[in-house]
Structure 1
Amino acid sequence: MTNNFNYLFQYLEKENITIDKKEFEFQIQSHPDYPSLLAIADTLSFFNVDNGAMRLDSSEIEFLPNQFIALLSEEDHKPELNFVERKGNTYFCTNDKKPLAISKSELESQWKGIVLLVEKQETEEVLKPQKSYWSLALQIFALVLFVLVLSQFEAALTTNFFFVFPIIGVLFSIAALKDLFGTKSELLNSFCNMTTSTSCTTVVGSNKWKIFEIVNFSDLSMVFFASQFLGLLIFLLSGNTATYFAIQQILLLSAIPVLFLSIYYQKFVEKKWCPICLVIISIILLELGYLFVFQNTTFTLSLKELIVFGFVFLSVMFAWSALKKLLTSQKELKEYQLKSLRFERNYTIFKNSLLAKDKAQLPQSPIILGNKESNTIITIISSPFCGHCKEAHEVIENILEKYHNNIQIQVLLKTNLEAENEERKKLFRSLIKIYKQEGGTVFIKALKDWFDNKNITEWLGLFSVNTTPEFDAIFDSQHKWCEENDYNFTPAIFINGYEYPQMYDRKNLPFYINELVEDSF
C-alpha cells in the first residue's frame, strides 16, 4: 500500500474536511499497522473524522456516493487505494498521479471489494492546521533585502541576472533531497512521478555505485550552486566579476562529463528518470550557454582569485557536510521515534502490560459519565488539589467527547475529609452535588474550571450549591480503599479494574479506545 496520501487528502477536500496534513502523516506513521487501511481509519478517527471501511461487491458500486476511496488493482503492481469520483457515467481514479478516466466496466474489472467512506459532522470540530505567515514574510523580506543589496552595485544587468541560475539550482537541489529536508509537496510528488518511468526518490536514494555511498549527484549540485551564489556575491563586492565568470566557464565545462554520467546512470543503471535531476542538468547547460553568449570572458586567472573561490567552495562543502549530518541525524531520530510509537501504541503489547497486574475490586462511585450501560469502564482516581490530575482529566475529557456512546467513565475523588478545612470540604461536597443535581456536563465544566483557575473562593461563588454531609460516607469509603490498597498518589487510571501501566504515557490512552471497546476482559 502506498505511503503517499494525496488521494486521501483530495477526498477529504472534496468532502469539505480540513485536517493538518503534516500532523496526519506523523500520526499515521506512528500507528502499529502503518500503512494499512486500519491505520488510515484510526488516524481519521483521531482527527474526529467519522469514517467506515466496508466490503462491497462490484455490483453495488452504483449505490455508493459520487466520491469514495476504493482498493483497485493495477497492472504489474499490488492493489492500491484510489480516490474515485463519479461524473455522469465516467469514473475518475486518483492515486498519486493525475486522475485517470475509466468506464464503469473498467472500474468493475479493477474492483477489489474494499471501500472507505468519510462523513463530516456538523457538531464536531475537525482538527485544523494552524497557518503561520511568518515564514512567508521572512522569505519576502530576504528577497527584498537581496534586491536592495544588488542595487548598490554598478553591475551590468546580465551580471546580476546570473544570480537566478544558482538560486533555482539550490531550490531544485533541495527538492531532490526532499526526504532529507522533510519537505512535502503534492506538486513536487506529481512532477517526480509523472509517469511509471520517473521517480526522483529512486534515483536520488540509489547507491548501486559504491561512490554514491560517499557523495552523490545531489550533494554535488547543492555545493556547486551554493558556491556559485556566494562566489558571485563576493566577487561582485570586490568588483572582479570577469574573473569569476572565467572560473565558472572552466567549472561548467568540467561538469559536462558528470552530466553525461548522471544521464547514463538514470537510463542504464537505475532505469528510472529523475525529472528534478534533468532540470538541474538543464540549468547547468543554460548557465554555460548564457556565459558564452552574454559574457566576454578572457581566461586570465591569478592565484589570488583562485584561492578566494577555492575558499568559498571548500567553506560551502564543509558547511553542507555538517548540515547534512545534522539533517540525517534528525531524520533517523524521527524514524526511531515513529518506531517507538508504533511499539508503544500496539494494542496487543499494551493489553499484555495492562493484564500483568491483578484486577482491582474498585469501590463504587456515584459519578458516572458517558454510557452507563457500557462494559468498557475507565475509572480515574483523582484529587482537585493534585498537580498532575489536570492533564489526566483532559485526556479523559477528550476520550469522553469522542466515545461517549461507547464507554463509561467513573470518577473517584480521593480525600480525607477529617484532615480538610471547611472550604475544601465544601469544594468536594459541591462537586458531587453538582453531578447529582446538574448532571455530567455541568460537572465536567465545573471540574475543568477548577483545574484552570484553582481559586477556591471564586469557584465556590461561581458554582454555588447547597452542600450537606450526605455523601461524606462515600468519600470516606473511597479514601479507606485507597489506603488499604496503597494508592497514595493521584491520578490513577483503571481500565475494567486493571491499573493503567506506569510505563505508558497517559496521553496515549485514546489510541487504545477502539480496540478496548471491541475487546472483552
Structure 2
Amino acid sequence: MIFDKLINYLKLDKQEFVFQFNSHPNYPSALAFSDTLNFMGVKNDAYELDKEYWNELPEEFIAIVENSFSLVKKSGNSYSVYSEKTKTLNQEELYNKSTNFVLLFEKAEKADNKLAFNFTPILYAIFAIILIYSLLSLQIYEAIFNLLSLAGVYISLEIFNQKFGNSSTVIGSICGVPTATQTVNACDKIIKQDKTSILGLKFSDFSLIYFTGLSVLGLFLPGTAYIVKGFTIVSILAIGYSLYIQAFVEKAFCRVCLLIISILIGQLAITSFFFQNLPFEIGTLLLIVILWVLIFSTVIYFNSILEQKEELQKSNAKNLRFKRNYELFKDQLLQKEKIEFQDTHTFSVGKKDARLRISIVSNPYCGFCKDAHKLVENLLEKYPDDISLQMRFNYIPERADEKYTRLISDLAHIYNNKTEKDFLNAVEEWFETKDEGKINILSGGVPTSENLNALIGMSTENSNAGLNFTPVFVINGYQYPEKYDREDIVFFVDELIEDEDF
C-alpha cells in the first residue's frame, strides 16, 4: 500500500510509520491506519459517514480513494487527492471512487523524528567544498567533470536509500507516476527488480562506488587524469549493459538510469577531448587501488547493515503484530489470580468510577519507577475521563528512614489538601529531582505530620499480594503480564476501555 504523499504531507518518518502500520494486529485495516497515526502523534477520529454528509467535512480529511488511504483537500468545487500520486476529482468522481470511511486528523506541531542523526547537511557541505575547490584550483573542464561526478553521487545515493524503503522526492520527480496501464513506473521496474548481485551489491550500488571514487580522484587532477580517463572508457561497458537491460530485457526505459548514462557520456566526452595522458607513479596507482577498496568495502558494509535492519524490521513487524493482538494480551493478563484491593482511594487520581482502573505499585526511591510513573501519567492525561489511577507506594514504617517518612507525609499532605493536579505535579517533580526539600516547599514549606495509616495498610495489601518488587502495574485487579514490556500498554488501552467483559 503506497501513501508517500500523504506521509510527506503529515511530515512523518516514513520508515517508522510503515513499520508501526505493518506491525499492527489489524493490518492493513482502517483501524490499523488510524492507530498508527495516533501513535505517531497525529490525533485523529475515524467515522463511517454516508456521502450525503461529506459536504460538512473540513477542508482536509483522509479517505480511502481507489483502495488507497488518501489525503483529500477541498478546492472550490473539486478535490485534490494525494496518495501514491496526485490527482484532481470532481465531487461525483470522488464519491464513486471512495468508501464511506473518513478520518479527521489534527496535525501535531512537532512530529517526533526518530532519526538519530541527519547526514544531509554534512553531505551538502562536502559537495560544496569539492565544488569550490574545483572552481578555484582546476581548469574549467576539470571542474565540470567533478560537478558531474557529484551529480552522479547524489543520484546514486538517492537510489541507494530508496532501495531500503526511503522515499525520494528527487527520484519521484524524475521518474514520474505510473500510467493507467502500469502498476509500477519504469524506474521501479528497472531499479528494484535489478537481478545483478556481486558480493550482495546491485548494479545501482556500483554506480555509487564509481562516482564516489571519481569525485575523490577528481580532486587530484591533472595528476590522476590518465586513471580517470581509463575509468570513463570502461564505463562504456556499463552504459551498454544498462541500455540492453532496459531495451531488450525489461522493455522499459528508466529516466533516472538514462540521466546517469548522460552523466557518464558527458564525462567520457570531457576526458576524451580535454584530458592529457600524463605519466603517473606506481605510488599513485597504489593509493588509487586502496581508495577503491575502501569505497567498495564501505558500500558493502552499509549495504549489509541496512539489509539486516530491513530483515529485522520485517521480522519484528510480524512478531509485534502477533504480540499486539488484544485477545492474546487479555488472555495473558487474566491468567494470574485477581487481586482484590480494599483500599482503592488513597493516592487515587483520574475518574474515580472509571471502567479501567490502573494501579502502580512503586517506591519513591526506585530507580526504574520514574519511567513507569511517567507512562501511566501520560495515559491519564490522554484518557482523563476513562482511567482511574492509583499510586500504591510501598511504605513500611519499621523499614523507612526519617527522610522517607517526611517525603510520604508531604505527598499525603498535598494529596489531602491541594488539587489533583498539584499532587501529580509533586510526584513528577520528585521523580525528576529526587529532592525532598522541593516536595516540602510544594506542600507548604513547613513540617507535615499526616496520618499515614492508610498508606501503611495499602503497603500491607501490596505485600500480601506478593507485590514487593517495583514498579508493578495492576489493571482492574490483574497483574500486568511479564511477557509484555510496560510500554506495550499503550497499544491496548483503547480496547481495555471498550471491553465490557473486562
Q: Which TM bucket (shorter chain)? A: 0.7 to 0.9
Maintained 8 Å contact 2:159/2:171? no
Please show how residues 307-318 of structure 1 align to structure 2 within 5 Å: 312-318=291-297
Contact kept in structure 1, 2:225 and 2:278, CA below 8 Å: no
Q: 2:404 pairs with 424, 434, 443, which one?
A: 424
Q: Indicate the residue corresponding to 1:243 in structure 2.
A: 226
Measure how far apart 1:55 and its partner are. Answer: 1.5
Show the 5 A alignment for 1:430-469: 430-464=410-444, 467-469=448-450
Q: CA deviation at 1:403?
A: 0.8
Q: 1:191 to 1:35 in 2, by over 3 A?
A: farther
> 1:326-350 CA deviation, whole Å, 9 max, x = no partner?
3322333343444444343332222
Q: How far off is 1:118 after superposition?
A: 1.5
Task: State the alpha-carbon separation in 2 of the partners of residues 126 and 327 from structure 1.
Answer: 27
> Does the alignment pair 1:226 with 2:192?
no
Shift of 1:438: 1.4
* Aligned equivalents of 1:375, 1:499: Cα separation in 2: 16
**Residue type at the aligned position of 1:84:** V
Paired AA for residue 130 in structure 2? F
Give the structure 2 partner of residue 90 of structure 1: 78
Selected match of 1:392 from 360, 368, 372:
372
SS at structure 1 position matched to 2:398: helix
Match of 1:59 among 52, 59, 62: 52
From 299, 308, 325, the counterpart of 1:320 = 299
Matched, 1:138 2:122: yes
Note if contact 1:169-1:225 (Cα within 8 Å) is conserved in structure 2: yes
Cα deviation, residue 6, structure 1: 2.2
Name the residue aligned to 1:106: 93
Q: 1:416, 1:479 within 8 Å by CA — same for their partners in 2?
A: yes
Aligned match of 1:518: 498
**Residue 5 of structure 2 corresponds to residue 6 of structure 1:** yes
Q: Decide which moves more: 132-141 or 373-382.
A: 132-141
Give the direction of change, closer, same or farther, for the CA distance of 1:432–1:127 in structure 2 (3 Å limit). farther
- 1:290 corresponds in structure 2 to 270
Distance, in Å, in 2 between the alignment partners of 1:425 and 1:432 is 10
Identity of aligned residues (%): 29
Cα distance, 1:230 vs structure 2: 3.0
Question: What whole-Å deviation, never above 9, does each CA across 1:377-421 have from its counterpart, x for those lacking one?
Answer: 111111212222111100011111111111111221211123334
Give 1:111-510 correspondences, 5 Å limit.
111-119=98-106, 127-129=111-113, 135=119, 138-139=122-123, 141-147=125-131, 149-150=133-134, 153=137, 155-180=138-163, 183-196=166-179, 197=182, 198-206=185-193, 209=195, 215-234=201-220, 236=221, 239-264=222-247, 268-269=249-250, 273-292=253-272, 294-295=273-274, 312-366=291-345, 367-464=347-444, 467-470=448-451, 472-510=452-490
CA RMSD of aligned residues (A): 3.3
Partner of 1:76: none
Instruction: Give unpaired runs (5+ residues) of structure 1.
Output: 13-17, 74-78
Question: Structure 1 residues 407, 187: CA separation in 2 closer, same or farther (over 3 Å shift)?
Answer: farther
User: What runs of 5+ residues in structure 2 fail to find an aligned partner?
Assistant: none
Q: CA deviation at 1:486?
A: 2.0
Q: Is the CA contact 1:249–1:291 (under 8 Å) kept in the aligned structure 2?
A: yes
Q: In structure 2, the residue corresponding to 1:261 is in which secondary structure? A: helix
- The alpha-carbon distance between structure 1 residues 272 and 441, as it changes in their structure 2 partners (threshold 3 A), is farther
SS of structure 2 residue aligned to 1:362: coil
Cα distance in 2 between the residues matched to 1:344 and 1:518: 19
Residue type of the partner of 1:94? Y
Structure 1, residues 289-332: CA drift from partner, whole Å, max 9, x if none?
3344x426669999998777566545533443233223322333
- 2-structure distance, mates of 1:360, 1:389: 21
Distance 2:441 2:89 in 1: 67
Distance of aligned partners of 1:398 and 1:25 in 2 relative to their CA distance in 1, 3 Å threshold: farther
CA–CA separation in structure 1 for the residues paired with 2:262 and 2:135: 28
Q: What is the deviation of 1:190?
A: 4.7
Q: Take 1:468 and 1:307, find their aligned partners in 2: how far apart are those partners?
A: 81
Aligned residues: 495
**Change beyond 3 A, Cα 1:253–1:408:** same
SS at match of 1:349: helix
